[in-house]
Structure 1
Amino acid sequence: MKYPKVYIVILNYNNWTDTIECLESVLRNDYPNYQVIVVDNKSPNNSMEYLKAWAEGKLDVWVNPAITLRGLTFPPLPKPIPYVFYFKEEAEKGGNLELENRLVNSIPPEITSKYPIVFIQSRHNLGFAGGNNIAIKYVLSKGDFDSIILLNNDTVVRKNSISELMNIKKKYGDKAIYSGRIFYYHDPQKIWYDGGHFNEWIGRTKHLNMGKYLHEIKNEPKVEEVIFITFCFVLIPKFILQKVGLLDESYFMYVEDLDYSYRVWKSGYKLYHVKSSEIWHKVGASSGEEEISEFSAYWMMRNRVKFIISKLALSKKLISLLLLTASRPIKFVQYYIRGNKFIISAQIKGFIDGIGKN
């Protein structure tokens, strides 16, 4: 097919207003063959009912007129937008294809997808990996796709973001995963992620060009090979899913993207960063807190240690853990001075649990 089918997977936990804004941007993208899946990770705030109400046209969409990116999501798309709803167990068996097919011809013409939205309700909060895996199992059961895109719900996309990824994927092939350039939502010219590096000797990832403004980036190639991709925005072809498998649910939150990137890399496949595919990210919104919080401090430390112990070669494992341990006293003093004592206890607990979970 000239335009093979892509599934765009959006995971929601409580932040249904962000998810609606994300959907309003995604459903305008110019790639002509895609279907959207929204998985609600058992939100305690009744998120799924709000999402259904939005699709049915019973809930107004509001976007702050002062937001620079308002044009990506406003005015609101016409409603109702057809959808199907599944619980986890039905979705993982491939859903109801007959029902989905009946809804294909009822999509408003302003919406660029010809398929109904698929809403899936998880029975439990399964974390980032577990929630996304529900959608991946649904897609694999249907089998009618070329690639999936995992997209954070606290993002908005440019109209051509998906097309740019798919054009490069068509050129470079199925034996790779792909990412795009990610900006800060509240500072739209400032880069958050522009490709990623991973240092096995210190067990840390790095976002390239993080904190730089777009006008500061000169003469860089359109596509770069990298060794770490953030799963805030990632395209994974069917081939990779079949060879590498699902996301590792033991991480719950954070580092699952490093784990998957590393598995892809170590399997001999490629990771490509596509700078012409651009989205904007409300950094920190997916956890409902600031980027540095007790929640994130615990899970980042716990999963970093877990990854180091479970994935790295012995020499790199020992050096990474030694450097991590040696750096803590200085870090803890800084946290204490800044009044962030809770981060100290969270990281200590995370370190201990990271060792114990292997």
Structure 2
Amino acid sequence: MAKNSSILVSVIIVNYNGEQFLEKCLGSVFRQTKIPYEVIVVDSGSSDNSLEILNSKFKNKKWLKIIAFPENIGPAAGRNIGARESNGRYLAFLDYDTEVGHDWLSKPITYLEKHPDIGVGQLKILKMGSENIYDCAGEKLTEFGFLSERARSTKDTGQFDQVEDIFSGKTAAMVVKKEVFEKIGGFDQDIFMYWEEPDFCWRVWKSGYRVVFLPMGKIWHAYGTKNKKVSQTHSLWITHQGCRNQLITIIKNATGFNLFKMLLAVITTWWILLISFLIKFDLKRAKAVIDAFIWLASHPKTLIRKRNQLKKKLGVQFYQDSNWLSKVVIKRSIKWYLGKGYSYLFGKKF
């Protein structure tokens, strides 16, 4: 696909064994006709029939580019590669297990065009199989370094139908200005998956741009629903990556007393969870946490390098978090933290 300056939006989808969802996902994307766009699918070593579906069902789509890798390179790396190959001024990231609503792009893009201070827009994400149950309306950051979802599994009654500053969101449906993406260096590929979006959005904020929730763009997401259950192996991987990458993100981005406070709180929490896993004889999950701490302890130079590179890139802006943190930090009660811990340990909703 040749370079085309008329393209406004590049839709980037990283696929990994998504044959169950790909056809419907792309079919819904190609129904959008109001703005000039292209679609870039980065296949990350799929072992199913994903590539066959792409090449047979969508071979006549002029503005579709397929980039295939023999191994799973991860979502962060896949998005970076898609962005490098893109023509658009905006990057619209989608997960392969999504379906987009009618006119999901034009209104968010129009809003972003009018607001040069916004770098990232999180679209409204609803659960696949429902008309009005939220999967995500963005996330706030607690004062102790944890993510607080604004709307997960709540009914959409219009309560979030206004543009609002958020700390982070999901690349299941996220629009990023390409100039901002390039300025901050894209996603951190060492954060293979989980916490790559908070790290990305933290750097967007630190660079002087806002991250906002844009309710006028609507999509449906299958992850975590009956349409897409999470296996035990993947659940253990989530635990490992969650522990490791949360701490990488804080070490890399937090400053001053917030750095000390967040590290202390997060490390303490993961050690409490580790002890709880051992008491429950959930040895595989305990090992996932231990392996995360071993990785962190054995890579101090990597962590210091990441922080120093960001400091060099941003200069004094690196330390000016107080200019924006108050907009996206939320205070949570002890009851909230205990409830989240109980939910994590026993798989109960909170």
Shorter chain as normaliser: what TM range?
0.7 to 0.9
SS in 1 for 2:213: strand
Any gaps of 5 or more consecutive residues in structure 1?
Answer: 56-80, 84-114
Give me the whole-angstrom Cα distance separating, in 2, the residues matched to 1:131 and 1:351: 26
The 8 Å contact of residues 192 and 207 in structure 1, kept in 2 or not, is answered as no
Give me the whole-angstrom Cα distance separating, in 1, the residues matched to 2:213 and 2:16: 27
Among candidates 47, 52, 56, match of residue 49 of structure 1: 52
TM-score (norm 1): 0.74
Deviates more, 1:164-173 or 1:346-355: 346-355
Structure 1 counterpart of 2:60, one-letter code: P
The 8 Å contact of residues 25 and 158 in structure 1, kept in 2 or not, is answered as yes
Cross-structure match for 1:13? 16
Q: What is the 5 A alignment of 1:253-264?
A: 253-264=193-204
Q: CA deviation digits over 1:226-265, x for unaligned, max 9?
A: 2212222111112212322221111111111111101110
Q: Residues 174 and 8 (structure 1 numbering): CA distance in 2 closer, same or farther, change over 3 Å? A: farther
Cross-structure match for 1:354? 296
Cross-structure match for 1:300? 242
Structure 2 counterpart of 1:209, one-letter code: A
Q: CA deviation digits over 1:77-127, x for unaligned, max 9?
A: xxxx515xxxxxxxxxxxxxxxxxxxxxxxxxxxxxxx4311111243211
**Structure 1 residue 150 corresponds to structure 2 residue 93:** yes
The 8 Å contact of residues 305 and 351 in structure 1, kept in 2 or not, is answered as no
Q: What is the 5 A alignment of 1:1-358?
A: 5-55=8-58, 81-83=59-61, 115-139=62-86, 144-173=87-116, 175-199=118-142, 201-215=143-157, 217-218=158-159, 220=160, 222-284=162-224, 289=231, 293-328=235-270, 330-332=272-274, 335=277, 340-357=282-299, 358=303
CA RMSD of aligned residues (A): 2.6
Q: Could you tell me how far 1:9 is from its partner in structure 2? A: 0.5
Deviates more, 1:29-38 or 1:261-270: 29-38
SS in 2 for 1:252: coil
Give me the whole-angstrom Cα distance separating, in 2, the residues matched to 1:337 and 1:279: 41
Q: Residues 28 and 48 (structure 1 numbering): CA distance in 2 closer, same or farther, change over 3 Å? A: same
Give me the whole-angstrom Cα distance separating, in 1, the residues matched to 2:233 and 2:153: 15
Q: Could you tell me how far 1:330 is from its partner in structure 2? A: 4.9
Give me the whole-angstrom Cα distance separating, in 1, the residues matched to 2:68 and 2:7: 27
The 8 Å contact of residues 248 and 256 in structure 1, kept in 2 or not, is answered as yes
Q: Residues 243 and 327 (structure 1 numbering): CA distance in 2 closer, same or farther, change over 3 Å? A: closer
Give me the whole-angstrom Cα distance separating, in 2, the residues matched to 1:169 and 1:4: 16
The 8 Å contact of residues 9 and 91 in structure 2, kept in 1 or not, is answered as yes
Give me the whole-angstrom Cα distance separating, in 2, the residues matched to 1:116 and 1:24: 13
The 8 Å contact of residues 270 and 289 in structure 2, kept in 1 or not, is answered as no
SS in 1 for 2:190: helix
Q: CA deviation digits over 1:254-280, x for unaligned, max 9?
A: 111111101110011111211121111
Structure 2 counterpart of 1:275, one-letter code: P
Give me the whole-angstrom Cα distance separating, in 2, the residues matched to 1:291 and 1:225: 35
Any gaps of 5 or more consecutive residues in structure 2?
Answer: 1-5, 304-350
Q: Could you tell me how far 1:174 is from its partner in structure 2? A: 6.5
Give me the whole-angstrom Cα distance separating, in 2, the residues matched to 1:29 and 1:174: 26
The 8 Å contact of residues 30 and 159 in structure 1, kept in 2 or not, is answered as no
Give me the whole-angstrom Cα distance separating, in 2, the residues matched to 1:253 and 1:287: 17
Q: Residues 276 and 327 (structure 1 numbering): CA distance in 2 closer, same or farther, change over 3 Å? A: same
Q: CA deviation digits over 1:24-71, x for unaligned, max 9?
A: 11111243311111110122335312321222xxxxxxxxxxxxxxxx
SS in 2 for 1:148: strand
Q: Residues 328 and 121 (structure 1 numbering): CA distance in 2 closer, same or farther, change over 3 Å? A: closer
TM-score (norm 2): 0.75
Q: Could you tell me how far 1:211 is from its partner in structure 2? A: 2.2
Identity %, equivalent residues:
25
The 8 Å contact of residues 176 and 237 in structure 1, kept in 2 or not, is answered as yes
Give me the whole-angstrom Cα distance separating, in 2, the residues matched to 1:186 and 1:251: 30
The 8 Å contact of residues 181 and 278 in structure 1, kept in 2 or not, is answered as yes
The 8 Å contact of residues 152 and 286 in structure 1, kept in 2 or not, is answered as no
SS in 2 for 1:251: coil
Structure 2 counterpart of 1:248, one-letter code: D
SS in 2 for 1:222: coil
Structure 1 counterpart of 2:8, one-letter code: K
The 8 Å contact of residues 16 and 47 in structure 1, kept in 2 or not, is answered as yes
Give me the whole-angstrom Cα distance separating, in 2, the residues matched to 1:334 and 1:125: 32
Give me the whole-angstrom Cα distance separating, in 2, the residues matched to 1:286 and 1:303: 24
Structure 2 counterpart of 1:318, one-letter code: F
SS in 1 for 2:133: strand
Give me the whole-angstrom Cα distance separating, in 2, the residues matched to 1:46 and 1:186: 24
